[in-house]
Amino acid sequence: MNLEDFKHIISLRVRTFDVDSQGIVHNMNYFKYYEVGRVEYRRNFGYKINKTGVFDDGLKVVVVRNEVDYISYAYLDDILNVHTRISWIKNSSFCFEQLITNQNNGTIISKANGILVNLDNFNRPETLKEKFVNEIKSFENNLIIKKND
Amino acid sequence: MNLEDFKHIISLRVRTFDVDSQGIVHNMNYFKYYEVGRVEYRRNFGYKINKTGVFDDGLKVVVVRNEVDYISYAYLDDILNVHTRISWIKNSSFCFEQLITNQNNGTIISKANGILVNLDNFNRPETLKEKFVNEIKSFENNLIIKKND
Amino acid sequence: MNLEDFKHIISLRVRTFDVDSQGIVHNMNYFKYYEVGRVEYRRNFGYKINKTGVFDDGLKVVVVRNEVDYISYAYLDDILNVHTRISWIKNSSFCFEQLITNQNNGTIISKANGILVNLDNFNRPETLKEKFVNEIKSFENNLIIKKND
Amino acid sequence: MNLEDFKHIISLRVRTFDVDSQGIVHNMNYFKYYEVGRVEYRRNFGYKINKTGVFDDGLKVVVVRNEVDYISYAYLDDILNVHTRISWIKNSSFCFEQLITNQNNGTIISKANGILVNLDNFNRPETLKEKFVNEIKSFENNLIIKKND
């Protein structure tokens, strides 16, 4: 992971309901932060998530894998930067590579990879639309196109 | 509120993600506990909540008011008892009266009232079914039947 | 409640993990939004919440009562405005009066009152500092000062 | 992963606040289920988590990595079984291997690995106590002891 590869960044603040009795962000709450980053990444391309959880360009995704490394602590009221990119695309799936840093001092707090699959109306994997693939190709540096699913 | 009025009790344990940096259950998480009590209260009558959030006897409710008093603290790993009753019924709405106690020592931790409205398929208030009203009448002591909504 | 009385407003967006199977914000998640409003209200006076949940001017509060009316629905990706004011102050307690509106169309989504008690280091109620009371007096219109706790 | 390797199982029910607008358990909420499984695994050995999040035998752990595969959907009101084992132990760290199945039909819903590090009072990695290692050795089949951290 290379910080320069990430062109999309949002920031958010650690809230009272995010931290546990050790005073640090509970490990599960990073997934909230990463999910916000993923939705905002798509908004950056002009798409909006509908009430039903489907994007307005028809993209309907489900997360099939999440992996997170917890590297440093985040504390109540910290402002965190969530860095989001798409690192690879396959036929019907793609991978969000993400990083959380402390906005104040740049410390890397956490790293993540999330694999999402595009679904049709019957919730079966469906080939990603060409428009989607082309937009990511144009936006991301070092994007890997994988041939098979 | 009278502890003897409550015939329905469930117990649950305070989890790591329920407590905040002061080491006590975060005020919002009591609503999780109360909601579990409400669903289980209905299960006790033989009803099940469907995937869509509607009960299998057709009851579709929405919460229109919640009020909670926080009386004592609950800590990580405590076992709590959630006491649930219906205190009054109107034409299309009813009130859950609830209490949370520490199972180990009986301390009253919190009290709540939640008002729910029965909805039709167009999300408009709908008169509660006679079967529902009769079941609650038979089950609860000191139930108040209010005439108007 | 009078919309003009509220001088402090923040906005936030409804997230995928905030809505339930009916596609609307789950009743408990409004407490997150209200809590964020309360912390930001204090930040507006120049105070910051510490890692331990205590503010840096020594204010250590605990919520003793929450009441919420759910008036209209909020949906995934809606932007909500959280309006926050202090409506009354007693000796050691005070009340946050709050309102959530849909930023796009002004619809009132929810109303709330939250009563907080100031605590000393032994978690006993403690008289609110004069500086705190004076700041709220200067900032709020229609503030009610109650004599006894 | 082999279902027979798991000797520790708890069950829990999917709640209204666990599912999203697609009617399925939100990906982040699996971490709640896995965390409950981890705490109960330790309780099975006679240990209790203290108010501060430290176990009463002195074990103080922090999660340094989580990985989850989402294999099938879980719906509102489903009862899930959380299967938990420790798959490997290093000097100061160990790995929880976990599985979630639908209790009703046995479908595998999700798989996870979580790596935890034992900390001293200064939050530095500390060699796991011999008692801890021996207990896991006696309890688990196919436990892998890794030499270096």
ipTM of the complex: 0.94
- Considering only CB atoms, D27 lies closest to which of A29, A66, A70, namely A66
Q: How far apart are CA D113 and CA D69, in angstroms?
A: 9
Beta-bridge partners for A100: A82, A110
Q: How far apart are CA B23 and CA B64, in angstroms?
A: 30
Residue D90's identity, in one-letter code, is K
H or E element that contains D69: strand D61-70
Res. C148: pLDDT tops 80: no
Per-residue model confidence as pLDDT tens digits over A116-147:
999 998 989 999 999 999 999 999 999 999 97
Q: How far apart are CA B84 and CA B40, in angstroms?
A: 9
Note whether D21 contacts C16, CB cutoff 8 Å. yes
pLDDT of residue B90: 97
C18 neighbors C78 (Cβ within 8 angstroms): no
- Considering only CB atoms, B27 lies closest to which of C52, C66, C70, namely C66
Contacts of C51 in chain A (CB under 8 A): 19, 23, 75-77
C50 neighbors C56 (Cβ within 8 angstroms): yes
Per-residue model confidence as pLDDT tens digits over C60-118:
999 999 999 999 999 999 999 999 999 999 999 999 999 999 999 999 999 999 999 99
Q: How far apart are CA C87 and CA C116, in angstroms?
A: 12
How far does A147 lie from chain C, in Å, by closest CA? 31
D52 C-beta neighbours (distance < 10 Å), count = 14
Neighbours of chain D (3+ CB pairs under 8 A): A, B, C
Under DSSP, is residue B39 helix (H, G, I), strand (E, B) or coil? Answer: helix
Chain mean pLDDT for chain B:
95
Note whether C31 contacts B35, CB cutoff 8 Å. no
Note whether A68 contacts D70, CB cutoff 8 Å. no
Q: How far apart are CA D103 and CA D78, in angstroms?
A: 8
Q: Which two tokens stand for residue A138?
A: 């144009």
Contacts of B21 in chain C (CB under 8 A): 51-53
Split at pLDDT 50, 70, 90, the class of B148 is low
For residues B39-48, average pLDDT: 97
pLDDT of residue B137: 97
Write the class of the CATH domain B3-143. alpha beta
Write the class of the CATH domain C3-144. alpha beta
pLDDT of residue D23: 85
Give how far Cα A24 sits from Cα of A15, A77, B17, C50, C53, Å. 10, 10, 11, 12, 11
Q: How far apart are CA C56 and CA B6, in angstroms?
A: 43
Residue A16's identity, in one-letter code, is T
Contacts of C60 (CB under 8 A, 6+ apart): C53, C54, C118, C119, C120, C121
Higher pLDDT, C23 or C133: C133
For residues C29-58, average pLDDT: 96
pLDDT of residue A148: 66
Split at pLDDT 50, 70, 90, the class of B29 is very high
- Global model pTM greater than 0.90: yes
Res. D112: pLDDT tops 80: yes
Q: How far apart are CA B51 and CA D86, in angstroms?
A: 33
Of C98, C105, C74, give the one whose Cα is nearest residue C1. Answer: C98
Give counts: helices (H), strands (E), chain D.
2, 6
Neighbours of chain B (3+ CB pairs under 8 A): A, C, D
B95 neighbors B113 (Cβ within 8 angstroms): yes
Give how far Cα A131 sits from Cα of A45, A58, A97, A141, C22, Å. 11, 11, 21, 17, 31
- Considering only CB atoms, A21 lies closest to which of B28, B29, B76, namely B76
Split at pLDDT 50, 70, 90, the class of D21 is confident
How far does B17 lie from chain C, in Å, by closest CA? 14
pLDDT of residue D22: 82
For chain C, the distance separating the N- and C-terminal CA atoms, rounded to the nearest angstrom, is 23
B18 neighbors A29 (Cβ within 8 angstroms): no
Chain A: residue whose CA lies nearest to B20: A20
Radius of gyration for chain D, computed over Cα atoms and rounded to the nearest angstrom: 16
pLDDT of residue D2: 86
- Considering only CB atoms, A15 lies closest to which of C36, C75, C76, namely C36
Of C138, C137, C142, C85, give the one whose Cα is nearest residue C114. Answer: C85
Res. C58: pLDDT tops 70: yes
Strands (E) in B1-149, as ranges, are 8-13, 61-70, 79-89, 93-102, 108-118, 144-145
Res. D124: pLDDT tops 90: yes
pLDDT of residue C101: 98
Of A77, B16, D123, give the one whose Cα is nearest residue C54. Answer: A77
Under DSSP, is residue A29 helix (H, G, I), strand (E, B) or coil? Answer: helix
pLDDT of residue B147: 77
Mean pLDDT per 10-residue segment, chain A (149 residues): 92 97 93 98 96 93 97 97 98 98 98 97 94 97 84
Res. B149: pLDDT tops 80: no
- Considering only CB atoms, D17 lies closest to which of C20, C23, C76, namely C20
Q: How far apart are CA D76 and CA B51, in angstroms?
A: 5
Beta-bridge partners for C65: B69, C115
For residues B79-86, average pLDDT: 98
Q: Which two tokens stand for residue A70?
A: 């917890």
Exposed/middle/buried for residue D126 (C-beta within 10 Å: 0-12, 13-18, 19+): middle
Give how far Cα B75 sits from Cα of A80, B81, B102, D50, Å. 28, 13, 10, 9
Chain C: residue whose CA lies nearest to D24: C21
For residues B68-89, average pLDDT: 98
Best of A16, A38, A54 to disrupt the C interface by mutation (most C CBs within 10 Å)?
A: A16
Backbone angles phi, psi at C99, to 5 degrees: -145, 140
Give how far Cα D130 sits from Cα of A72, B104, C108, D93, D139, Å. 27, 33, 60, 13, 14
Give how far Cα D76 sits from Cα of B53, D21, D63, Å. 8, 11, 28
Contacts of B32 in chain C (CB under 8 A): 28
For residues B102-113, average pLDDT: 98
pLDDT of residue A147: 78
Res. C149: pLDDT tops 70: no
DSSP B28: G
Contacts of B43 (CB under 8 A, 6+ apart): none
Q: How far apart are CA D20 and CA B123, in angstroms?
A: 19
Write the class of the CATH domain D3-145. alpha beta
Note whether B23 contacts D77, CB cutoff 8 Å. no
